Amino acid sequence: MNTVSFVMVMSNFIVIAVLPLIIFRRDGSFNLKWCITALPFLVVVVVLIMGYVEQLISLQMYSALLFELAQISAAIFSIASIGLIACTIHAHEFKPALWHQVNDQPQELVTWGPYKSIRHPFYSAFLLAFCASVMLFPHYLLFGCLAYGIIVLTVTAKREETRLTQVFGGSYQCYMSTTGRFIPAGLL
């Protein structure tokens, strides 16, 4: 495992880990749904550390050239994820709610910055981080975390979209028709 790429991917997960502490409103709690959603992030960090110190063996998926490309791609995906997180933070005038809360009622409909193209840019950044971890260290547990992340973030996003449609009505439905959930609509 390339040390620079390892540091970039781990930095990405550290940024994600501190988000609930510094970005989101303080009126939430780390309830069971939140913990279940956050679990694969912790698993990824543990697996990557174990892989880096050679306590786990990765799947032999790559030739030497593809291995190097995957390592570089992992770093690039992590940089993109961190950048997307920074842009998403900057787009919020008010602190967003910590997801899976009874009171996660939005204070505003954000449709600028990354939200101009993607309805859930934080989740997109999280998925980029999961992809980076799989590229860095292909392992069954990381493929499982990626799949789990896709499923749980999709379910969470759908729940949020239902709530946002109830709050903002037709303006949110119009917004949904012009943006992608995790990927910009024009790229699909």
Domain boundaries, the chain: 3-187
**pLDDT cut 70: percent of the chain above it:** 94
Residues 6+ apart with CB under 8 A from 147: none
Task: Provide mean pLDDT across the span 82-89.
Answer: 96
Q: Which structure tokens are listed for 164?
A: 């946002």
Q: Which structure tokens are listed for 55?
A: 């306590």
Q: What fold is seen in the domain 3-187?
A: Four Helix Bundle (Hemerythrin (Met), subunit A) (1.20.120)
For residues 90 and 80, what is the distance between their CA atoms, to the nearest angstrom? 15
Residues 6+ apart with CB under 8 A from 11: 78, 82
Task: Provide mean pLDDT across the span 126-136.
Answer: 97
Asked if 88 and 114 touch (Cβ cutoff 8 Å), the reply is yes
Is 142 or 102 the better-scoring residue by pLDDT? 142
The answer to pTM > 0.85 is yes
**Predicted local confidence at residue 31, as pLDDT:** 76
